[in-house]
Amino acid sequence: MTPPKKRDGVPDPLILCAPKSRTYIALTPGFPVDTRPIRPVVVSAYQQILHITAPPGEDHVISFNSGWIFNTTVGAYSLRVKNAGVEDRPLWLYGWTGPLNAVPRHITYGVLGKALLALYIHMNEHGWRQAEFEIWDAGKEFGFGILGPRV
Quick: pLDDT tens for 52-109.
866 666 778 888 777 889 999 999 999 999 998 654 444 444 444 444 444 457 899 9
Q: Which pairs count as long-range contacts for 119-125, CB under 8 Å and 24+ apart, including other chains?
A: 119/16, 119/25, 119/27, 119/42, 119/145, 119/147, 120/42, 120/43, 120/46, 121/16, 121/19, 122/14, 122/16, 122/27, 123/39, 123/42, 124/39
Which pLDDT value is given to residue 53?
64
Inform me whether the pLDDT recorded for 124 exceeds 50. yes
pTM: 0.79
The C-alpha angle 41, 51, 126, rounded to 5 degrees, equals 35
Residues 20-67 have pLDDT tens digits of: 999 999 999 888 888 788 999 999 999 999 888 666 667 788 887 778
Inform me whether the pLDDT recorded for 114 exceeds 80. yes
Which pLDDT value is given to residue 8?
60
Which pLDDT value is given to residue 102?
44
